[in-house]
Each structure stands twice: as C-alpha cells, then as structure tokens.
Structure 1
C-alpha cells in the first residue's frame, strides 16, 4: 500500500464502534485557522519558544513535549491532547482565544487529558509524525494541529482548528473533548488496537525504497516537471494555480536553471517568461510591503493583492535568491532593487544585535493602542482619508498635484477601500486599502505631468512618511526565535547578494550571521536547532536541542555560498565537516536518503524522510544539490555517489510527479551537465580577484565550480586538486581566469571584460 491510499484504508479498517464514533465526531469539526490571559502561569512559562510563552498564562495545564508529560499520561492513564502551532499562526491565535483561554473548556482539558503544546518550528520532528497522520486520515492538514494520542504517543484522532462550540452542524472543541474522554474510559482497548494498526500502516507508507530500475531519472523527469509547471501556470497574473497563491521559490529555481542550461530551446524561453512575469506581478502586488519592505507569506486572491500579512524569514531568504537570478539573467535594475528592499527589511526588522536572524512577524496586531482585539493586517493597511491627510502636500513647488494624488493613483488607493469583501470574510479590512501597483512609475508620472525621476521621488517621499506613521502604530508580534536552518537560508542569500550586487556590506552581514552560528549554534561538532533572544540583548540556546537534517543541509549551502562569495576556504572546510556529520547522523544506510532526525529519540515513533518541496525545499532536495556542488570542489566521488543514490530513491516520484520536488529536479538538471571549472589564479581579496569573481557571479552558470589558485600549497583546495599548482598569475597584482569544461579549457584571460566574453561562449556552460 502506498501513502496516498492510506486515507482509503482508514475508512475500511477502522470499523470498531468506538473508532467510527470518534471519527464522526472529529469529522464535524473545523479545520486550520493570542491574546493575553491573566492568572497563574503554567509549565510553559519556563520555556524559551515564543509560541510556548504565548500560552504560558492559559488556564490549560500545558506541558511541553517531555518525558514528564508522557510519564504522567501513563500513570494517570489519560489520552494526550497534542496542540502544535507557531507564534505567528493566525488560526492558532483564534483557537487560543476561543478555547485555550476559556475556563470552562480548560477545565475539561485539565480533568481528562494531559495537554502538550509544541512549537512546530522548534520540533519539526514531532510535527511531521503527527501531520503525516492527520493529513493521511483526513486528507488535509494545517495549523493549529490538534491530535489525540494514547499514553504511548500513538495517534488515534486528529484535526486542525476546532471552534469552541457546536455551530452550523459542526461539533465544537468542547464536544470533541467530552466524547473522546468518555469513549477512552469506556473502551481504551479498542483505541489502542486501532492506533496500533494506524501506526503499522503509517510506518509502512512513510518509508521510501530504492527503485528496482537501474537507470537514474533523466530527461523525461525534467521535461515532465516543466510540463506540469506549465500546465499549472496562471498567465493573467503569474504564479502556479489559482488563489490562494504562494511564491514557491523552488519553482523559480527550476525554471531559471532550465533556461540557463538550455537558453535556445523554446520551452526554456517559456520557463524564463513564466518566472519573470510572476516575480514582476508579485513585486507590484500587495504581497510586497511597499512601505516597510519585505514579502508576506502568500496572497489570498489570484492578483497577489490581499496577502496573509505574516512575514517569514524563509520567504525573504528564498525570494532574495529568486530576484537575484532574475537580475543576473536580465540585467534589469528593478530586480536588484527588490533584493535590496528585502534585505533592508531583514537587516532592520529581523536581525539580532549579535548577528542571528529572527523567524517571523505576525499578521495580527492591535489597530490602535487602546484596542482590545487584534486584527489581521492592521499594521499595514490605510484608509483613503488617512492617505489624503498624511500626504496633503504638493509634489513640488508651483504644482497643484499633491503627494496623495500621485500615491493614490499609483497604488490603487480607493475611497471606501480597495479590498474585495470576498477576501475579507471577517470584515477586518473594511474601508481599508492594501497597496498594489497598477501602472509603472513612468505611466503614473505621465498622468500628472511629472518626469519619471520626479514621480519616483514623490512616491519614495510618500512611502517614508507612511513608514514613519506605521512605526507609531501597535506593532505585530515578533517571533525572535533564531532557527539554524532559516539562518542558513538567509546568510546564504546575503552572501550571494553581496557578490552579485557588489555590496560589501551584505557579505559582512552574512559573515556576522555565520559567526553567530559558530558561536551559539555549533557545539562539540554538532549543530543545535535554535537560539533565543533575551531581554538584555543576549542569546540563549535553551535546552540545547540538537539540530535536524534541514539545519545541516541549509547551513552547508550557506557556507558554500560564503566560500563562493569570498574565496575563503575556511567556509568550504566547514561545509565539508558538516556534510560528513550529516551523513553520519541522518543517512539511511539501508535504503539511502536522509531521515529528518537521528536515531535514538524514543518519543519519535517514525523516522521520516521528507519527500516534498513545499514552502521550504525538503532537506533531501537541498542536500542532493550540496553534494553535487561539493563533489567536484573537494574531489569527493563519494558525495556524487550519495547524490545519485538520492535520485534513485526518489526516482518514482521524480518520474511521475516532479512538480512535487522542483528543487530536486533542479539538482537533476545540474547533474546531467559537466561541471564548468572556473579557476582564478591570484590573491584572495585583491581588487583584481574581486572583479573577476563578480564577473563570474554575473552569469547564471548552475554547474560552475570556482577554484582559487593563490599559491598557498597548504590550503584545502591544493590538497584536493594538485593541478592547481600549474596555475599562476603573470604579475603579482594580477588575477588570471581559466574556464574549463569536459577536459577542455579556454585561453587564460586577465581582465573581467575578457572573462565576460569567455563565459558568454555557450560551449562552456551547456555540455
């Protein structure tokens, strides 16, 4: 039985009377969607996670995920109620306000269940096991995730968001709690029997096995990925699928790579068009914060207009890379401006003084300082009257047009608001405007008799005025948890931006973040999962929770990017050290591929391998790309063999539904090409070397390998590549570049212009 038939299996196998009863009860509940409470603090008050701390004053007797909770459940023979979410989750806030702060519901929970709260970002291993169950048994998942477990941690019922009371024919949370508690007391044996069968099937269906076929996935998988993306592409506004629309940067990565490796093919040109058009529409849309920079999580409509206003670090990091790729391919300055916009937001609002990056900003906030209830988007939206009052000054002396006239026209600000009521089911955005560009700056200027420069200056001034006003509003909650994996994403993106845009400050910021990781999140050769900001500006690592496979995968990619941006081989040495540790801790020696978790934690019932590239590409997809980059850099054939084993493990999925793994399919594209070796003979850090390096990064060459021949024969690269001893600059202050592919090399060049000409020669980038 495969994983996708598990839902059908549930309906056939779970036919015990008690199972049918609680399934009917759970099926009538809602699906996935703080506020402050008073009173006694519960056990979560001693935790570090911002999400757990949000629930520390709930009347629910919460436990963190711990042996203490499991022991109490066994001793008292009670079901465990497991609630999983994260601190910027809108519907988590709703369920907290409606149920977990409700004394009557809390009383039922405390009397009948052992209640456990988990931050999904802190414990992705716990989240993955039970989300696999919830998704397989109900066909849908989301947060908050609500799961009922036996004292042995076996799931027996689950869902997402539950309303507090019965409504519209749907059972409320109180009803579900009472029903399950009663049935557990009446016949716990049938619960356990059903749970055992569920776990057997989950264990079987969550396993991936090596394909019997000997051939690796090839051109068919790549062509199918393009075809599936093309079919799902929405040509009017860009993006893949209808509303809600998510950025999906892994799709852009595939499309740009496909184009870069096949620039003359018609479908590759179409790939480029789809990616560029979507990125332009996202830039213009409300998903892009035109006043305070950065991008929201997703758009609730097809036009990228009304966002879910939450901002996540991982989106900022991945979109930085997407817009960098767009800039490298097209040379259009607007894409570079968007990159700078994102990084302005991250360095200003998501940065710890010691160098780490915070996780997220909430969608919800108080509309005014004396308001009692938070609203989604309150921090970001504007009424027509506000705009006209705040921007009621002339664009320039002697001109009747005001800043408000220009701003309202350019950003589609309307009297009565510009939000479709269908995108605002709770009337939180009534009479409000979400800024969206409907014309270019040049077109807006023409509308008011302004030059493009004058119009741009007017809009910039207006945005600054509104930004200053926004800073006086109640701010949304900041999740200042610093995750290793997301920090790896962001510092890797910073490093790329620095070398591509020639912005030294970005590289310095990336190095600061890398030093933060080495100082706080790298202990005894192991990565830790997370660090936490303290009130005094210091950093805590909490209980020193060890890192998961995604922490290693993203930090390896980050250190590779830092090496390529600086040519400092110490980052390459760290990347190799972490790759070997990842292989040791997470590699499946029986079937290949990487587990999410290392062995040994008895509270994790399944060791699962992620098999889908979602909002974050899976660790296996990121890792296979890392292995393919490291193998030629370090002359490690074993890394390439592991990459091929991963392709083999995921062969069936890559051949049938590669759209589920676009990041891995991108790696497959690169695997099919001979590496392009770019050898820079010169001194690290000199002006000549940096200019050559920037020329290299000015081309999207997915299979490139950058080697520095600096005559330091003791360095890592010289130890792995004896041929580097043959490359020397002609003059002490000169850097000479050699471009080689498939045992052929170009003539050496000694200036960036010549290197540009060489790299534009397709014979060195497509074979």
Structure 2
C-alpha cells in the first residue's frame, strides 16, 4: 500500500509509516474516500513522545489481523496533535461530550464521513480486560452500529454539533469578574489541594503551572498566605520528587503516584518552559536555594538537550527507550550507581536519593528523589552542610556522565512556534531574576529563528508551511514582551505590534469579542473553538488578553486595551462558573478593572 505517512515534518506520522494499517493523513483525500465508500472514519490522534500511543501501536496498529479489520471497514486517519492542535481540541472536546469523561492520548474517535464523531475512547487494549473492550471488539461494535443504526447516529450527530456550539462563550452583562470570583478560584484550588504532598487532585498528578502561577501571584500581590503556601509547597515537593530529573534537570510530564516519586517519563518543552518561569518567580519572591537550583537545572537541560543548532527548541523527549521500555534511560540499579561514585559520595547520595529504601520502579529500579535533604544528612553524618552539598553536586555530575553513555531517548525534533515562545518567555524571566546573559542570548537565538523563518506575510507559521494558531500568536506576543523587559532591543516593540495586529485581524471575533483558535481563512471544520480554559498550557485567550494589555501600556494604544476588555467580557460568564479553570483570564480581568 502507498506510504502516505512519510512526512518529514512529523516524527509521529513517520513512526507509523510501516504499519499494515492503510493510514491517511488528515485531508480531503481521506474525507472524500470515506464519503465515496460510505465508510466511517477511525481518527487516531497522538504524538511522538506519547508512551500509550506507542503501546497501542505495538499491540494493535502493527498487528496484521487488527489492521485488516481497520482497512476493510474504515478509512483510518492518523493525526499528530502537535501539528494539528485544532483537530485535537475539537475531538477532545467532542470526546468529553460523548463519554462524559476526560480525554488524553492516544485519542481514537469514530467519525461519519462528514467528520462528526459518534463514538470515542483513548487507549484500547489488544485484548479485553477489566471491563474494557479490545480495539478489535470496538471495531466490530462500531461497524455494526454504522450499518444498522444510521438514523440514530444522524440524530446524535445533530445533537453533538449543537452541544459543541453551546460551548462557545457568550457575553452576559450580569457576569462580573471581581475579587469574589478570584476568591472562589482559590477556594476551588484549595479544595483540590493535597495538603500532605502538594499539588492538586489524585493520580495521575500533573504540575498545573498556570494554577500555581495564579496562586503565587495572589500570595505576593494580595497578601494571601494560603495561596502562597499552596504554590510554594507544591513547587518544593515537585523539586524534591522523582517528577524532577534529579540528575539531568528538567521535569517529566506527570507523576503516577501522589508523592511525586515515579513519573511518566516523557519530557515536554512546554511543561518545562512554564515551570522555568514559575520557579524563577518563586526564587525572586523567596530567595530559596532549592528554587534557584531548579531554575539553573531546567534552563541547563533545555539548552543542553533541546536547543537546536539553528536556535529553535525541539518539542519533546520520549518516555521509552528503543526497546519500548519506559523510563530505562533514567532509572538506576543500586550497584552500577554505587560503582560510579566515590565511597564518600555513595554514603551521602544513597541516603539522599533514597537508594537505602526499597526500589520504587518495577520492583527493581530506583527513580531518584530527595528522600533526605542535605541539611538533615549533615546533622546525621556530623558533616558540614556545605560538604554534603558538594558531594551531592559532584555525584550528580558523575551520574549524568554515566547516564549519557546509555541510549538516549528519542527526541521529537519538531520546532513548534507556540512552545518555542513559552521557552523564550521562561528563559527571559529566569535570566532577569538570575542575571544570566547566556540565557538571554539563547532566547534571542530562538526569537531570531522565528522572525526569519516563521513570520511570513504578516502572520506566524506554527511549523514550516502551516499557518499559525491562536496560541502561536498569543504566546509569541507574550514572549517578545518578556524578552524586551529583560533585554530591551529597538526592534522588539515593532515586532510585538505586528503580532498584535495579526491577532486582531486574523483571530478576533468581530461580533462578540475573544479570539478563535483558528484564523479566519482556515479551512472549515465541524466546529471553530474559542478556548478559554487553561489546560497543560495557558489559555490562548487569557494569554492574548494579558499580552495585549501589556503591549497597550508599552505603546499607549487604546485598541489593545479594548480588545483585551472584549475578550474578558465574552468569557466572564464561563469564568464565573468555573473560576479555577480560567486563571489566566482571571488575571486579565483583574488588570482590566
């Protein structure tokens, strides 16, 4: 069969190019085939560093029998969510409406030939287990429904399209985003706060950097000790946990336990960019050496492992090694680690990183975390704390060199404009706090690449040859202003103005205010989102409003304040209903008063 996935711009599509599944990329060719053959579409959305995407690929998409079922009954479309965040947003939202549950990756959605989803799920196993159907069972059930219950599906399609339309924000003059709504956001976050371990909710446990930034800012600016405690306690617990790479720096995607001990081992540029800025703010506020170390190590990881020769930053590092084993690049057995260190280093580090305790990964390996802080070990061992810190630092250097001899995790070398913008902001804010000219230089190199290769005809590209989305423009406007604040250059503000004009002309809703995720001239899809929720990355609308306010102050242009005000106003009712899910927009509303 033809190899339609040999797309040099997507590592994820290339990973599936040898599957026996007759995959199509998203486009008119696949949609036309589904219409002509009256077949449902199986749309699978994932990304290159996704562990469970790889598991499903090995178990099902590489299996000839499963592939034969897909090829016979469906038109199969594979999408890289990093390339097409617009499709991912729409179908994740549809999944939450269809299943009344959260989404994730891989996302597998069954669509009519018109692109309307009627059944969805995330990971489907190869064999049924614990009440979960296998993918082969799902294919059979969905095929039967498609053949026998078409009228019911048509009614469901209409209802789903109505439900998607209802998710768009609508201005309500009665909705006011005052201090009481910010209080409610803090109360909601406080209800979800893990008082013992830091963080929010149960496992899997994500960092929620946008929420933490809101709490940190509130604690600083509004003298709220409870908000400040939630932010600083979470940041400290994460910094000492296994979700932080204690040897190489940077943070993993999330923790699979409540104590931040064992992570899901993929590393994402966007997560680390947001945490870099957040730890810099925490260090500026507290002067805590732990937070300064997180800034140094996260920036060091980004520049060492993620910045390309052309100045741009790569998207992610995979969780698995080449044999599909999760975390093996990072975890340790006790004896090889001991042999890599001097006796004095081992005496300190075995206790410091928990190697005197039971292994915490697969019953055999240790994922290093701070089990006993240096200050406690200094008292226990009757040694100066400075000496203990030096032994830990020298051991870290040796272990990183030893780990570098292992096979490195696969790196997704896509350079996404939006995520590069987040890293530019993180480096700029960290450099301003820590007085690091080399971080400014790294951020400037990334910005120069964006300006030379991604700014085309008055708008940003998300990737080469692909028009940018709201997040590309909002995050980049924020980045240019952050870099200008740390290192003013004459051409910064003119570029910021040009990005702002693209936001207003290409994305703003001229009737109701706020910004659509896709530009006005983008091909039509079943829904055009106007997202306000903060997710793994901050809300594009909230960021746009904040950045436009900041630019308005810089250049004294009332149009930017007016656009930010329209954005806040159209989302006010939604924010009032779920304040803790809209902290960026709440911040913009506070500055809008």
| TM-score normalised to structure 1 length | 0.75
Please say if 1:63 is aligned against 2:24: yes
2:182 counterpart residue number: 222
Please say if 1:330 is aligned against 2:289: no
1:481 counterpart residue number: 414
**2:353–2:368: 8 Å Cα contact kept in structure 1?**
yes
Secondary structure of 2:415's counterpart equals strand
Q: 1:415 to 1:229 in 2, by over 3 A?
A: closer
**2:170–2:573: 8 Å Cα contact kept in structure 1?**
no
Please say if 1:414 is aligned against 2:364: no
1:447 counterpart residue number: 380
CA distance in 2, matches of 1:151, 1:418: 47
**2:480–2:496: 8 Å Cα contact kept in structure 1?**
yes
CA offsets 1:607-642 (integer angstroms, 9 cap, x no match)? 111121111111011111112211221111121122
Instruction: Kindly name which structure, 1 or 2, has the bigger radius of gyration based on alpha carbons.
Output: 1
Alpha-carbon offset, residue 41 of structure 1: 6.6
Please say if 1:153 is aligned against 2:115: yes
CA offsets 1:24-71 (integer angstroms, 9 cap, x no match)? xxxxxxxxxxxxxxxx77210134211111111111111111111111
Identify the match of residue 596 of structure 1 among 496, 517, 521: 517
Alpha-carbon offset, residue 136 of structure 1: 0.8
CA distance in 2, matches of 1:168, 1:269: 44
**2:193–2:201: 8 Å Cα contact kept in structure 1?**
yes
1:201 counterpart residue number: 163
CA offsets 1:293-339 (integer angstroms, 9 cap, x no match)? 10111111111111111111111111111111111111223322211
CA offsets 1:250-270 (integer angstroms, 9 cap, x no match)? 12221222123223xxxx122
Alpha-carbon offset, residue 187 of structure 1: 5.1
2:505 counterpart residue number: 584
2:339 counterpart residue number: 389
Alpha-carbon offset, residue 472 of structure 1: 1.6
Identify the match of residue 652 of structure 1 among 573, 577, 591: 573
Identify the match of residue 346 of structure 1 among 302, 312, 315: 302
2:191 counterpart residue number: 231
Q: 1:110 to 1:575 in 2, by over 3 A?
A: same
Identify the match of residue 661 of structure 1 among 557, 570, 582: 582
Identify the match of residue 243 of structure 2 among 263, 266, 287: 287
**2:262–2:360: 8 Å Cα contact kept in structure 1?**
no
CA distance in 1, matches of 2:400, 2:363: 21
CA distance in 2, matches of 1:249, 1:102: 39
**2:25–2:77: 8 Å Cα contact kept in structure 1?**
yes
**1:258–1:669: 8 Å Cα contact kept in structure 2?**
no
Identify the match of residue 225 of structure 2 among 262, 269, 284: 269
**Aligned Cα root-mean-square deviation (Å):** 1.7
Alpha-carbon offset, residue 73 of structure 1: 1.4
Secondary structure of 1:157's counterpart equals strand
CA distance in 2, matches of 1:269, 1:193: 52
Q: 1:196 to 1:294 in 2, by over 3 A?
A: same
**1:281–1:304: 8 Å Cα contact kept in structure 2?**
yes
Please say if 1:605 is aligned against 2:547: no
**2:182–2:586: 8 Å Cα contact kept in structure 1?**
yes
Identify the match of residue 184 of structure 1 among 129, 141, 146: 146
**1:244–1:302: 8 Å Cα contact kept in structure 2?**
yes
2:552 counterpart residue number: 631
| More RCO (CA 8 Å, sep 6+) | 2
Alpha-carbon offset, residue 497 of structure 1: 1.7
Q: Quick check: which one's helix share is greater?
A: 2
CA distance in 2, matches of 1:275, 1:491: 23
Please say if 1:89 is aligned against 2:50: yes
CA offsets 1:76-114 (integer angstroms, 9 cap, x no match)? 221111000111111111110111000011111112211
CA distance in 1, matches of 2:278, 2:574: 25
2:441 counterpart residue number: 508
**1:253–1:663: 8 Å Cα contact kept in structure 2?**
no
| TM-score normalised to structure 2 length | 0.96
Q: 1:449 to 1:302 in 2, by over 3 A?
A: same
**2:277–2:425: 8 Å Cα contact kept in structure 1?**
no
1:374 counterpart residue number: 324
Secondary structure of 2:491's counterpart equals helix
Alpha-carbon offset, residue 409 of structure 1: 0.5
**2:354–2:372: 8 Å Cα contact kept in structure 1?**
no
Identify the match of residue 461 of structure 1 among 371, 374, 394: 394
After TM superposition, the structure 1 stretch with the greater mean CA deviation from structure 2, 378-387 or 252-261, is 252-261
**2:7–2:13: 8 Å Cα contact kept in structure 1?**
no
Please say if 1:491 is aligned against 2:424: yes
Identify the match of residue 119 of structure 1 among 73, 76, 80: 80
Identify the match of residue 622 of structure 1 among 533, 540, 543: 543
Q: Count residues in correspondence.
A: 592
1:751-766 equivalences under 5 Å are none
CA distance in 1, matches of 2:443, 2:98: 43
CA distance in 2, matches of 1:560, 1:65: 35
Please say if 1:211 is aligned against 2:175: no
CA distance in 1, matches of 2:512, 2:246: 48
CA distance in 2, matches of 1:75, 1:274: 56
CA distance in 2, matches of 1:500, 1:465: 29
Secondary structure of 1:375's counterpart equals coil
1:694 counterpart residue number: none
